[in-house]
Chains A and B, each alone.
Chain A
Amino acid sequence: MANIIINGKGYQVEDGITILEACNRLGIDIPTLCHDERLEPYAACRLCVVEIKGKGKLETSCSTKVRDGMEIETHSERVIRARKEILDLLFSNHPNDCLTCEKSGECKLQDYCYEYGIVEGTYIGEKKNYPLDESNPFYTFDPNKCILCGKCVRVCSELQGTNAIGLKDRGFDTKVSTPFDMGLATSKCVSCGNCVAVCPVGALMPKKRERYRAWEVRRVKTTCSYCGVGCQMYLLVKGDKVVGVEPAKSRPNNGLLCVKGRFGYNFINHPDRLKTPLIKRNGKFEEATWEEAYDLIVSKINEIKGKYGPDAFAGLTSARCTNEENYLFQKMFRALIGTNNVDHCARL
């Protein structure tokens, strides 16, 4: 354990953790735009700077480990001045369009500018002016809103392992880009949307069918129904309609999703979606109750089994079922029907 002093108060924290981690655990709020505990420390936004006694320059709390006897100021006048200047610099090269920006209300830059009293970017000069990349069917990239925190690039490489995007050019002209700047559609992007999920500003935004504001939706936690992994996610519900999905930072997916879970929610409100079982009567499917459907299945199984024996059956189950459901399915075939003719689509 390390004994440290933060803002004049003594604490005992675990050895080997960063100042930012320590502060998070102690409930001391430090702003950051580029930090994500799942990724390697990046130390690019510099918002998390703190003053450490005995050090001339400010240190980023995300990349500095606590040491015994360390004296830290997280909100000294010098620190606040630096944070304000950094936010001013960022905002000076950012569209001032919070009124219409889709991210408004959940934008970290907006939050911190509010917290630190930055009303406008005061530096007058060149501003980013790039075309939007709308080539991906599920999300849009607006480089003009990008603050180059690098989270999207790092999630794509460190967690998703796709390496579809990277940084192009350098200095003021640095831009998140695809190889040869040819656009997302031609890149290796698998549209998992994990970059969209980590973007702290409105640079990476899902393409929306319904317009909604962050404060208009309820977040309902659920399990993704696309496969057996059981990813946890939030359905964004406006009124009685699911208008979006966000990954939940819990097991097993820890904030990640795939293209299906992230963007494949439109079936929920689709008019063709089946909401009851259908039974074919006189050559036509008709809506039925679950009781009717089960009765029909049971009677047909018994009939066929009696006539042709259990091996007349073959079962094929789906990857959209959970492990438990798949287990029950094979159990039903082996024990109930009495055949080993059972398989799963993922094996094909």
Chain B
Amino acid sequence: MMTVEELRKIKEETLKHMESKLYKLDKEKIGQKATNRHVLICGGPGCYSSNVEEIKERFVEKIAEKGLENVEVSISGCFGLCESGPNIEIYPDGTFYSRIKIEDVDEIVEKHLCQNEIVERLLNEDAKKEDKILPVHQVDFYKKQEKIALRNCGIIDYNSIEEYIALDGYHALAKVLTEMDRGEVIEVMKKSNLRGRGGAGFPTGRKWETAYKYEADKKYVICNADEGDPGAFMDRSILEGDPHSVLEGMAICGYAVGSDQGYIYIRAEYPVAVKRLRTAIKQAREKGLLGKNILGTGFNFDIELRLGAGAFVCGEGTALMESIEGRRGMPRPKVERTAHKGLWGKPTIINNVETFANVAPIILKGADWFRSIGTEDSPGTKVFALGGKVKNTGLVEVPMGTTLREIIFDIGGGTVGGKKFKAVQTGGPSGGCIPEEFLDTPVDFASLSKIGSIMGSGGMIVLDESDCMVDIARFFLDFTVDESCGKCVPCREGTKRMLEILERITEGEGTPEDLDRLESLAEIITSSSLCGLGQTAANPVVSTLKYFREEYEAHVYEKRCPAGSCQALLQYFITDKCIGCTKCARNCPVSAISGKVKEKHVIDTETCIKCGACMEACPVGAIIKK
């Protein structure tokens, strides 16, 4: 059994080995001398799949070969800038290398580590400005970010409980167990006004209080790690990069509400996160930070994993509990509150990964500190997975209230290839598309819902002028139809009919009545579906109909796709640029192109199957589609 004293000792011991990489937290110190050097390799989802384990091994080998001392190499959680991965940072100087291949390692060791000479060709493209080399924290992508949930991601080694403890890990648990009674913990959480990061934004403290006040022989704490929005990987990054932060948050919740058993419901499609969580739980048990009589205080709390079998709907609280109980993952009606009668009929708290990751800092630094970040209504930060047609795709954490424009343009670097920004989709399949006119909207729970979208779990997909909004709505509906559990009629039958209408419109077969149909269906699906999945399923359609109705109308009335994206409505043409090289005609699989050598060719649009082979073959870009 560990004591609080031993916890502090581990912290002190471990900090000694972490010196230079801690400069990442203490930006003033970057560039100053340190007793050691650190090569930090990003082990986030994207980078990890680009063989960073091999890159690390090569670093270790090469450093040994060169006889360098006091250089530590470690893989840590996600740095965030997935676009340019695999990423590497070297401390104490904070040099930021990107797109590193195993062949580049020798050069970095030889030049950077041996001769203190920066390898300019491998620097991140934004780490160089007017011949000046910028340390990582001055790169635009990171400047406006503020990290609470991701505080340890990209610094600590995710396999090391000691490094987590060194950065005050499990100190919040120690504090609540030794200095606070349960009611005080609830009060701090209520005062912090931490709102659920899974999407709905319900105040965490109030939720905990409901379970805390309800007497029962058994209570449960569940961490919802069934992250399933297309393109979202916030929770995954936290679980993979800093698993202990979630375990600690759950244990604190367990203490506050009076529970001794936690479950993490995680999708089986996250094998790396599952593996790292298993390791973390094992370590915490060995150290006596989970299990019986934690820190000698008599408090018992243990955590088990439950793996989801691949259904998006199991991210919905009641379906999640059904699944844990061993039944088909389908939502059940909430006759009673989950905090009163949840898992196996017992009081249950379900919070999302990011919510739990916020708990320990709030306990340590206080509710006032937390409220000083973000907005009055939505304090703290929010993690977003920035994707789509944006330059810097990746993971960002910003204070609530940051505007969409700041996130997309200042941090995200704007759209790619000079294309015009069109909209941003937030909240995944439950969210909506926000047009350019609302780019200055601050990102918080109330503001986003006011403009027809939702915060959601944090997916943010940028769309440019080449994206057809009808097709985007169709894409999200297709996802929902696929993921509907099939229990209630509006969702099972209604979303399917909505999708069929959208498919007809994108194929040029839509009628004016279809637009009215979409609106009436949306109303019924939203107002009468059983669970959140159905109740929000129509949002992508409603928001695009509201802000981009003219695009729908162009498809329906003019049989035209203004974005030039819907294949069925496009036609290929050869412009005057044609040099008559005959390449297009030779590549056309249906012989729809005719023309003499050195003369302009013509496409027979009746025969054309719109495969695009001619366009690819044309050496002068003379073929266009419209």
Stretch at the interface among B396-404, B453-461, B477-485: B477-485
Q: Which A-chain residue is minimally distant from B485 (CB atoms)?
A: A170
Q: Which A-chain residue is minimally distant from B311 (CB atoms)?
A: A170
CB of B310 to closest CB in A, whole Å: 10
Task: Using A171-B481, A171-B486 as known contacts, say yes or no to A82 and B528 having CB atoms under 8 A apart.
Answer: yes
Q: Is the CB of B524 within 8 A of A86?
A: yes
Task: Using A57-B527, A63-B333, A86-B524 as known contacts, say yes or no to A126 and B489 having CB atoms under 8 A apart.
Answer: no
Is B87 at the interface (CB under 8 A from chain A)?
A: no
Is A60 at the interface (CB under 8 A from chain B)?
A: yes
Stretch at the interface among B254-262, B275-283, B490-498: B490-498
Task: Report how far A47 CA is from B330 CA in the complex, Å.
Answer: 19
Q: Is the CB of A148 within 8 A of B492?
A: yes
Q: Which A-chain residue is minimally distant from B497 (CB atoms)?
A: A123
Is A194 at the interface (CB under 8 A from chain B)?
A: no
Task: Using A60-B333, A85-B520 as known contacts, say yes or no to A174 and B492 having CB atoms under 8 A apart.
Answer: yes
Q: Is the CB of A173 within 8 A of B488?
A: no
Q: Is the CB of A44 within 8 A of B500?
A: no
Q: Is the CB of A172 within 8 A of B486?
A: yes
Within 8 A of B (CB), among A1-59: 18, 41-47, 49, 56-58
- Please tell me which one of the listed residues B484, B494, B520, B521 contacts residue A170 in the complex, with CB atoms under 8 A apart: B484
Number of A-B contacts defined by CB within 8 Å: 109
Q: Is the CB of B524 within 8 A of A171?
A: no
What residues of chain B lie closer than 8 Å to A166, measured between beta carbons? 328
CB of B504 to closest CB in A, whole Å: 9
Task: Report how far A167 CA is from B484 CA in the complex, Å.
Answer: 13
Q: Is the CB of B500 within 8 A of A125?
A: yes
Task: Report how far A93 CA is from B495 CA in the complex, Å.
Answer: 13
What residues of chain A lie closer than 8 Å to B530, measured between beta carbons? 43-44, 46, 60
Task: Report how far A47 CA is from B493 CA in the complex, Å.
Answer: 14
What residues of chain A lie closer than 8 Å to B526, measured between beta carbons? 57
Q: Is the CB of B485 within 8 A of A46?
A: no
Write out, one digit per residue, whether chain B residues 323-344 have a CB within 8 A of any chain A CB (1) or not (0).
0000010101111000000000
Is A206 at the interface (CB under 8 A from chain B)?
A: no
What residues of chain A lie closer than 8 Å to B482, measured between beta carbons? 171
Task: Using A85-B524, A166-B328 as known contacts, say yes or no to A92 and B492 having CB atoms under 8 A apart.
Answer: no
Q: Is the CB of B524 within 8 A of A82?
A: yes
Q: Is the CB of A172 within 8 A of B493?
A: yes
- Please tell me which one of the listed residues B495, B496, B521, B528 contacts residue A46 in the complex, with CB atoms under 8 A apart: B528
What residues of chain A lie closer than 8 Å to B485, measured between beta carbons? 170-171, 174
Is A193 at the interface (CB under 8 A from chain B)?
A: no
Q: Is the CB of A93 within 8 A of B487?
A: no
Is B237 at the interface (CB under 8 A from chain A)?
A: no
Number of interface residues of A (CB under 8 A): 41
Q: Is the CB of A44 within 8 A of B328?
A: no
What residues of chain A lie closer than 8 Å to B330, measured between beta carbons? 167
Within 8 A of A (CB), among B486-531: 486-490, 492-497, 500, 520-521, 524, 526-530
Is B204 at the interface (CB under 8 A from chain A)?
A: no
What residues of chain A lie closer than 8 Å to B497, measured between beta carbons? 89, 92, 123, 125
Is B535 at the interface (CB under 8 A from chain A)?
A: yes
What residues of chain A lie closer than 8 Å to B313, measured between beta carbons? 170
Task: Report how far A43 CA is from B520 CA in the complex, Å.
Answer: 22
What residues of chain A lie closer than 8 Å to B490, measured between beta carbons? 46, 85-86, 89
What residues of chain A lie closer than 8 Å to B493, measured between beta carbons? 89-90, 92-93, 123, 172
- Please tell me which one of the listed residues A85, A90, A147 contacts residue B521 in the complex, with CB atoms under 8 A apart: A85
Q: Which B-chain residue is minimally distant from A49 (CB atoms)?
A: B528
Task: Report how far A92 CA is from B493 CA in the complex, Å.
Answer: 9
What residues of chain A lie closer than 8 Å to B500, measured between beta carbons? 123-126
Q: List 28 A-B contacts (CB under 8 A).
A: A41-B335, A43-B332, A43-B488, A44-B489, A49-B528, A56-B527, A57-B535, A58-B528, A60-B530, A63-B333, A63-B334, A65-B335, A78-B527, A82-B528, A85-B494, A85-B520, A85-B521, A86-B490, A86-B524, A90-B489, A92-B497, A126-B496, A167-B328, A167-B330, A170-B311, A170-B486, A171-B495, A172-B481
User: What 10 additional pairs, Cβ within 8 angstroms, besides A41-B335, A43-B530, A170-B485?
Assistant: A18-B335, A45-B488, A57-B535, A58-B528, A63-B333, A63-B334, A63-B335, A147-B489, A148-B489, A171-B492
